[in-house]
Amino acid sequence: MVLRVVIISVLLGATIMMNRDTPRMLDSSTRFLLSLIVSTYVLTIAYAIWYRIGRRLILLGYIQVFSDALLFAALSYATGGVTSGFTFLFHLWVIVAVVSMGKRAGFIQATVSAALIGLIVVLMELKVLVPLSDVASSQDGIGTTLYALSVNIISLYIVAFLVNVLAARLESAGEGLQKEREQKEELARKLEQAKRLAALGELAATLAHEIRNPLSAVSGSFQMLKSGVQLGDEDAILALIIERELERMGRLVEDILEFARPRAAELSPLNLSLLVAETSQLFASSSRQRGIDFELNIGEEIHCTGDANQLRQVLWNLLVNASQVVSDDTGRIHVSLKSEAQWVYLDVTDNGPGVSREIRNKIFDAFFSTRERGMGLGLALCKRIMTDHGGQVDVLDTEDSGATFRLTLPKNAATAAKMIDGK
């Protein structure tokens, strides 16, 4: 709209300057140009009002470029037809159409412009349109007219093609710059997070190391005291609470030490089906005390390459997390194992509240937890162990409520080494 107003204003000024003699202001060409200028100002005001309303702006864009093509056709007719100097505006508006409405609009604008230029030539050759009374009739032959027509039409499509190529390259460059900027921001975020985690991990490891020995002494002393006395019902409940909390603190200390000072994975062939069955059965015995329905689906015997102790820890952490989010008596935990091609998939599914999409990218970060008493190390350890195995851990959507955590492991050592080298 601004570009149109600038062009029309320049045309108005040029018309006035060229017709400073008052009698000539009544010439047919001058009146025709002034009427076009006034009409264009009125239409631009209407377009501006429409734009301020903010509805169906794509339609507004097409109406503007098409009406501008009609304006340029009228200017070309008034100033000599296909040989008019104003035909350059058709080419300019092809560029405007691409910039404002996309690459497709450029070819549409070129086609409409070509059709209008051709229509002017045909109507003027058939004397349906005659030159304005004060405009000298062109003495050019049909050959010259067809040549000018061909040059204009071909150049319109060349401009449309070149502008589309340029727009595509600019879009590609812009996407590349945007992606590069996002990658730099992500790297900076990860670097900052790594620094914080390194400092926090070192502090936590020091504290955990100092706590482990006294905690072991307290736990051992409690077991000796417990075995030496006969406890009543109320005291037995308290003892059970103490024992459970001591066990939880012990696991927390081990998780902190494992995260801060990880042990390298010792990869070797193993029977994953047997490992999953043993770990699941051990966990199921404790979960059934709460009335949790536990289901195991292994199917065929599956082998893979991995560290048995670390994989057992990963599965145990996922089972503990699942048991903490399901309800007693109505809770369900389902463990399934299957293989496809070069990969093994181990799923742990629960019917808890699930994991919202807002935090799915955060739950595997160290020290991020949705529970008030959680340290947020369990899933972070799972992720690191799986990465060291050339695999990954993901959260999948479930049909009903709940969550599915999937462990993906390579079947053989070659695939595992390839994934580990590329991590």
Interval 291-329: pLDDT, tens = 888 899 987 889 888 899 899 989 998 998 888 888 887
Mean pLDDT of the chain: 82
Tell whether 164 and 189 lie within a shared domain: no
Tell whether 23 and 115 lie within a shared domain: yes
Tell whether 174 and 196 lie within a shared domain: no
| 25-55 pLDDT tens trace | 456 777 777 888 888 889 999 999 999 998 8
Tell whether 302 and 240 lie within a shared domain: no
Over residues 177-205, the mean pLDDT reads: 78
Question: Residue 236 is part of which domain span?
Answer: 185-260
* Domains in the chain, number: 3
The C-alpha atoms of residue 10 and residue 240 are separated, in whole angstroms, by 91
pLDDT at position 34: 81
Tell whether 202 and 302 lie within a shared domain: no
pLDDT at position 26: 56
The percentage of the chain sitting over the pLDDT mark of 90, rounded to a whole number, equals 15
Tell whether 216 and 112 lie within a shared domain: no
Tell whether 39 and 138 lie within a shared domain: yes
pLDDT at position 423: 54
Over residues 225-237, the mean pLDDT reads: 79
- What is the distance of C-alpha 287 from the center of its chain? 40
Query: pLDDT category, 372, cuts 50, 70, 90?
Result: low
pLDDT at position 195: 77
User: Residue 236: is its pLDDT beyond 90?
Assistant: no
Distances (CA, A) of 207 to 18, 221, 245, 260, 365: 90, 21, 18, 11, 21
Tell whether 176 and 193 lie within a shared domain: no
Tell whether 148 and 218 lie within a shared domain: no
Radius of gyration (C-alpha) of the chain in whole angstroms: 39
The C-alpha atoms of residue 31 and residue 135 are separated, in whole angstroms, by 12
Over residues 83-107, the mean pLDDT reads: 85
Tell whether 15 and 82 lie within a shared domain: yes
Tell whether 9 and 86 lie within a shared domain: yes
Over residues 191-218, the mean pLDDT reads: 73
Please report, for the chain, how many H helices and E strands are present, in that order.
11, 7
User: Residue 113: is its pLDDT beyond 60?
Assistant: yes
User: Residue 127: is its pLDDT beyond 70?
Assistant: yes
Over residues 54-62, the mean pLDDT reads: 86
The sign of the dihedral angle between the CA atoms of 339, 342, 348, 354 is negative
Q: Are 117 and 76 in contact (CB under 8 A)?
A: yes
pLDDT at position 161: 92
Tell whether 317 and 177 lie within a shared domain: no
The percentage of the chain sitting over the pLDDT mark of 70, rounded to a whole number, equals 89
pLDDT at position 361: 79
Highest mean pLDDT among 21-30, 280-289, 318-327, 413-422: 318-327
The CATH number of the domain holding residue 250 is 1.10.287
For 120-171, the DSSP string reads HHHHHHTTSS---TTSPPP---HHHHHHHHHHHHHHHHHHHHHHHHHHHHHH
Highest mean pLDDT among 121-130, 213-222, 368-377: 121-130
Q: Which of 300, 302, 317, 326 is nearest to 258 (CA)?
A: 317
Q: Are 84 and 75 in contact (CB under 8 A)?
A: yes
The CATH number of the domain holding residue 412 is 3.30.565.10
- The domain boundary, picked from 116, 149, 183, lies at 183
Tokens of 106: 């450029």
The sign of the dihedral angle between the CA atoms of 38, 41, 47, 53 is negative
User: Residue 125: is its pLDDT beyond 90?
Assistant: no
84: amino acid identity, one letter: S
Over residues 201-217, the mean pLDDT reads: 73
The C-alpha atoms of residue 253 and residue 417 are separated, in whole angstroms, by 31
User: Residue 359: is its pLDDT beyond 70?
Assistant: yes
